[in-house]
Amino acid sequence: MKLTFLLFLLCISGVWANKANSQTTKVSIQAENMHMKDILSQIESQTDFLFVYNYENVDLSQKVSLNASNISVAEVLKIIFRNSDVVYAMEGNNILLMKNTAEGQQQNSKRITGKVTDSKGEAIIGANVVVKGTMNGTTTDMDGNYSLNVSPSSIIQVSYIGYITQEYPTQNKKSFNIILKEDLQALDEVVVVGYGTQKKEVVTAAITTVKASDIAVSPSADVAAGLAGRLSGVIINTRSGEVGNEGTSIFVRGKSTYANGTEPLYVVDGIARTEEDGILSRMDPNDIESISVLKDASAAIYGSRAANGVILITTKRGKEGVKPTINITYNHSFAQPTRIVEMADAATYATAHNWANLTKGLEPTYSEEEIRKFADGSDPLNYPNTDWYRTVQKTWTHQDKANLSLRGGSEKVQYFMSGGFLNQGTPFNNGFTHNRQINVRSNLDARVNNYIKVSLDLSAKKLDRVLPRDGSVNGGSMYSHVALNLPTILAKYPGTDLAAPARDGDNPLVQTSGEAGETKTDRWIFNSLANITIDLPWVKGLSLVGSIAYDYYHQKYKQFKNVAYVYNYDQAMNEYSKVMVPTVSSPSLNIEEKRSESLTGNVRANYHNTFNSVHTIDAFLGFEGNKSSSNMLSGYRGNFPSGMIPELPFGDSNTQTNNGSWSETARLNYFGRALYDYDNKYMVQFQFRYDGSQNFPPGNRYGFFPGVSAGWTLSKENFMSNINWLDNLKLRASWGQMGNDAIAAYQYLVLYGLSSGAVFNGAQASGLYQKGTPNPNITWEIANSYDVGVESRFFGGQLSFEFDWFKSRRTNILTKRNASVPEFTGLSLPDENIGIAENTGIEFMIGHQKAVNKDFSYSISGNFTYAKNNVVFSDEAPMAEEYQKAEGHPIGSSLRYKAIGIYSEADINDSNVAKRPGTMAGDIKIFDANGDGEINSLDRIRQDLTDIPQIVYGLNFSATWKQFDISLLFQGQAKVINTIQEAWVDPSSGGAGNLMKWWTEDMWTPENQDGTKPRLGTPNRINGTTFTNINAAFFKLKNAEIGYTLPASARGKIGVANARIYLSGTNLFSIDHMRGMGIDPEATGSGYGGWALNPQRLINLGVNISF
């Protein structure tokens, strides 16, 4: 067992090491009567090999003589161990030395021989052939041959990295020619779970994992966005292209609650942290080893914050026995929006405006001659044709990412250090905005002695983001101006860079320039973690682990609004005059600083032991406490005499205001897990967390969250032993309870606010007022999670398949009884734990991998998730129509009139066709839901789709041929809608702007009465109808990369261990229903700001070099 365990560890470390071959790596050693140990030291100094052995069992004191000149390491080892009892086994760069046991010298022993080959008949050099449960073993020679003395009833184990370990009984046979099957999933043998790791073969939970190589392949600056399509059961959408704030949303198996708190819990190296700190989205992908997602009862170990799933992020660490390796990665990307919103041109807008007037009985605004001039561009000064989106947005901008890391380690100390830089340029033609980020990390591990290990992790981020004057570009007033400004308005005067007055006297070109001011956000984030592990020698397998983490977050927000100018032009005088933009009459400054600190400590007692070689217990008990505090201070001053010094002391003190807040929270938890494993065949696991949260009253403050799961590996049963093509078949099931305490704090207390609106003795006075009604019985929202799954692998790991059915039932959802309590009571009711919701679905993964020959290998994998939620109970008016109730429909579904076409002239004249008063031909035809012959609010129908997709899927292909490699990632979604802006349909309204080009195509007019889009000028006929619900399904080439790795001969000449250059891209194309609108179906928004800046497309050139 000790040998098996050592070989397992060596496999794990060996797969990451630069592979060396004992048959081809050559050394030169001159030794005269030298100790074996000293000769091995010379081999280590000349190669990347590391010898691992037990000083007590392996005797290297024997002296030998050697005259080796440029011969292989394998030949040297054969010579020096020829007359000794030392045997060796090789895994990657590690060579394990063992003592040949007395078993081989017993009188009743026999010698077995044979050859080890792969499926193509090629010899496997250095395969390990070991008698099971002993230290007796050998390795195959250059021709794959071996010989070994064994007892007649022995079982031999044959293993080699990248192949499935096989066992053979030696009874009645002396020759064994063994064909090893490839195990292309060997890297998945260890899975990160809550507070530890488990071998994949004993995992009983639904856990999806993505490795470092898949994470780093995306050039996206947002790590979360780069995971889309790679993780089954995880719904990821990138909602914006705003640099530094892509708005990526993540739902684990869909949305399961209609209360606050739908985000998953993020855990980094065992410590829970918040995404407010950009813990995932703003992390350097080069620092990440793996990301695992806990989707079922396995999340119960995190208790009160795990109801929406848990994302475990494991960062890279140093490796024992690996020489210091410097790695440099640099990426330069060209970025552009995937699409630009397509608005009507000036001639189309003018024509549509006239049509809208006509429907209202008004005279045309534009003559035919004016429309002609808009179209032909003959007079751009007086009849411009401005595409405001393309005027404001750049076609391409730039992004730079760089990382430098150092990794290595000895037996005593292992280290990983990294520094990264990101720079994203402005997306605006006249802009100055940017997003910059610096990441540094240091992970150190050290073994103090045979019983004590310590580690210290330090990381820091500095984020610097500059936006236009009005803040967020997606949904902010700046893009409102872009959408509202008409194509008939000049952006800048022909032949000049002078901005003309646009809508409201402002101009988006001015708004996006530094002249108008800026919004600057600086963030400093520091995370630290110290661990100590003490192995208790008096109890085998027992250890104590202590962790303490300190996090610090500091944000400084500074918004300076400056006076800006546009220009009027006097054609007669040919003169330009400067005019102040009326939206900002004097400079002003608003600043806000936030600070938060968090201290987390936990202690765990771990126990791991195997009895009689088949009974394994892996368990721990832990205690954790957390204390966090945060404060905010803000200030404002206006009437600055100048915009030259945007600092508070230079503003007018008579305009000053200030504000602030402070809060402190604490948590106390007890948790544990126990896994029993019988021979990797039958597994049962129980876990729990007893969680305390400050958000609830003392009587309800603690919650107990258990989870139980079981697994059965059928493929290990005797009745399936003859199925040679089946490598693994495991059934598993789980149930668990998790909580959700993401609610406003202190709802059980009477809260008071400060008001200055009261008048006392004729003067305004400040006073306290009660804020809402408390609920002293408020308690946890509970999630019951159910999962049944199957895992399988076939044909030597070439084919794999996983399937899960899942269900989550949420109870005690906090919501108000507003609907069932009449409004005339005037009561302001508290939240109560009365809501119920369910989420049910399936997911599966399928993969195929094959190494065709030494030059070519490939892999294809796909994942699919279907998750549908529905409201089981929500407080609703008792007399509401069934088809209008939220119950039985998806969470967040809206009430809308069902559009069933366009009213024709015949419909208007037919009294049997239901319609609203004032309806005209060309209006949207509404379904009469209750059949009363009228269209009113009772005809609104609850929708069955929302902006969260019920179906998501991904398809991944990768291949290598000699020095070339390629990878393609396709992502898709279905059963999802996006809602376009309803206000873009009335160009004759004073509050409206331009309209979408899409709307003008096949629009209903008296000349085109078969048009599929309604007539203009009637937004009240369109608002709240399903006509604006657009199918947001898509199929995207999410990521593609092609790379070339320099061959070893070329690398040797330039002195590098590895060098690779690659071309990659993200969001390269999309097949969907919204292309004609210029809207990316992933993007969402509201009002005129919606879809302002679509997600980015990146074309990237990168290089990776290691020394």
In this structure, what token pair is assigned to residue 845?
């993964």
Contacts of 197 (CB under 8 A, 6+ apart): 190, 191
Question: Is 70 exceeded by the pLDDT of residue 3?
Answer: no
- Segment 12-37 shows an average pLDDT of 63
* Candidate from 1-5, 553-557, 618-622, 1013-1017 with smallest mean pLDDT: 1-5
- Segment 406-430 shows an average pLDDT of 91
What is the C-alpha separation between 349 and 662, in angstroms, rounded? 52
Residue range 628-644, pLDDT digits in tens:
999 999 999 999 998 88
What is the C-alpha separation between 206 and 296, in angstroms, rounded? 6
Chain Cα centroid distance, residue 326: 27
Contacts of 273 (CB under 8 A, 6+ apart): 266, 267, 279, 527, 551, 598
pLDDT attached to residue 277: 58
What is the C-alpha separation between 441 and 456, in angstroms, rounded? 11
pLDDT attached to residue 211: 86
In this structure, what token pair is assigned to residue 178?
């063994």
What burial class does residue 48 get, using C-beta atoms within 10 Å of its C-beta: 0-12 exposed, 13-18 middle, 19+ buried?
Answer: middle
Q: What percent of the chain is modeled with pLDDT above 70?
A: 91
pLDDT attached to residue 1071: 95
Residue range 286-321, pLDDT digits in tens:
999 999 999 998 999 998 888 899 999 999 999 887
Question: Is 90 exceeded by the pLDDT of residue 974?
Answer: yes
pLDDT attached to residue 111: 84
In this structure, what token pair is assigned to residue 1028?
């604006």
What is the C-alpha separation between 472 and 864, in angstroms, rounded? 34
- Segment 893-921 shows an average pLDDT of 91
**AA identity, residue 539:** V
Residue range 683-731, pLDDT digits in tens:
999 999 999 888 888 888 898 999 999 999 999 888 888 888 888 899 9
pLDDT attached to residue 1086: 44
Give residue for tokens 């024997």.
62
Question: Among candidates 769, 763, 768, 807, which has minimal Cα distance to 785?
Answer: 807
Question: Is 50 exceeded by the pLDDT of residue 5?
Answer: no
Radius of gyration for the chain, computed over Cα atoms and rounded to the nearest angstrom: 34
Contacts of 52 (CB under 8 A, 6+ apart): 6, 10, 94, 95, 96, 97, 321
User: Is the CB of residue 489 less than 8 Å from the CB of residue 495?
Assistant: no
Domain residue spans in the chain?
2-185, 187-321, 744-777
- Segment 536-540 shows an average pLDDT of 89
What is the C-alpha separation between 197 and 206, in angstroms, rounded? 14
Count, residues in the chain: 1107
Question: Is 80 exceeded by the pLDDT of residue 15?
Answer: no
What is the C-alpha separation between 415 and 456, in angstroms, rounded? 10
Please indicate whether residue 476 or residue 619 has the higher confidence score (pLDDT).
619
Neighbour count for residue 1040 (Cβ, 10 Å): 18
Tell me the fold of 2-185.
Immunoglobulin-like (2.60.40)
- Segment 333-353 shows an average pLDDT of 90
Whole-number Cα distances in Å, 805 to 141, 470, 796: 48, 47, 26
pLDDT attached to residue 989: 58
Residue range 1007-1064, pLDDT digits in tens:
889 989 888 876 567 778 898 888 999 999 999 999 999 987 888 788 888 899 999 9
Question: Is 90 exceeded by the pLDDT of residue 881?
Answer: no
Contacts of 677 (CB under 8 A, 6+ apart): 202, 615, 616, 617, 618, 683
In this structure, what token pair is assigned to residue 170?
């030696």
Please indicate whether residue 1065 or residue 32 has the higher confidence score (pLDDT).
1065
HEC assignment per residue over 347-362: HHHHHHHHHHHHHCCC
Neighbour count for residue 161 (Cβ, 10 Å): 19
Chain Cα centroid distance, residue 935: 45
In this structure, what token pair is assigned to residue 516?
């108008």
In this structure, what token pair is assigned to residue 555?
């944000």
Whole-number Cα distances in Å, 711 to 232, 403, 541, 845, 1025: 20, 42, 23, 18, 49
What is the C-alpha separation between 432 and 455, in angstroms, rounded? 43
Q: What percent of the chain is modeled with pLDDT above 90?
A: 43
What is the C-alpha separation between 624 and 510, in angstroms, rounded? 53
Residue range 108-143, pLDDT digits in tens:
578 888 888 877 677 787 778 888 767 677 878 777
Please indicate whether residue 182 or residue 861 has the higher confidence score (pLDDT).
861
What is the C-alpha separation between 238 and 225, in angstroms, rounded? 6
What is the C-alpha separation between 609 and 539, in angstroms, rounded? 10
Residue range 738-773, pLDDT digits in tens:
988 888 888 888 888 777 767 777 777 777 777 778
Beta strands at 190-193 and 196-199: parallel, antiparallel or unpaired: antiparallel
What is the C-alpha separation between 206 and 227, in angstroms, rounded? 18
Q: Cα 787–792–795 angle (5° rounding)?
A: 170
Helix (H/G/I), strand (E/B), else coil: 908: helix
Helix (H/G/I), strand (E/B), else coil: 484: helix
User: Is the CB of residue 93 less than 8 Å from the CB of residue 57?
Assistant: no
Q: What are phi and psi of 906, to 5 degrees?
A: -65, -40
Q: Which CATH architecture has domain 187-321?
A: Beta Complex (2.170)
pLDDT attached to residue 422: 96
Please indicate whether residue 180 or residue 802 has the higher confidence score (pLDDT).
802
User: Is the CB of residue 84 less than 8 Å from the CB of residue 41?
Assistant: no
Residue range 226-235, pLDDT digits in tens:
889 999 999 9
Give residue for tokens 């906090």.
814
* Candidate from 60-64, 88-92, 352-356, 1051-1055 with smallest mean pLDDT: 88-92
Question: Is 90 exceeded by the pLDDT of residue 859?
Answer: yes
Question: Is 70 exceeded by the pLDDT of residue 976?
Answer: yes
User: Is the CB of residue 994 less than 8 Å from the CB of residue 349?
Assistant: yes
Helix (H/G/I), strand (E/B), else coil: 651: coil
Please indicate whether residue 343 or residue 788 has the higher confidence score (pLDDT).
788
Predicted confidence band of residue 334 (pLDDT cuts 50, 70, 90): very high
- Segment 569-577 shows an average pLDDT of 91
First and final CA of the chain: distance in angstroms?
37
Beta strands at 249-252 and 175-179: parallel, antiparallel or unpaired: unpaired
Beta strands at 940-942 and 924-926: parallel, antiparallel or unpaired: unpaired
What burial class does residue 912 get, using C-beta atoms within 10 Å of its C-beta: 0-12 exposed, 13-18 middle, 19+ buried?
Answer: exposed
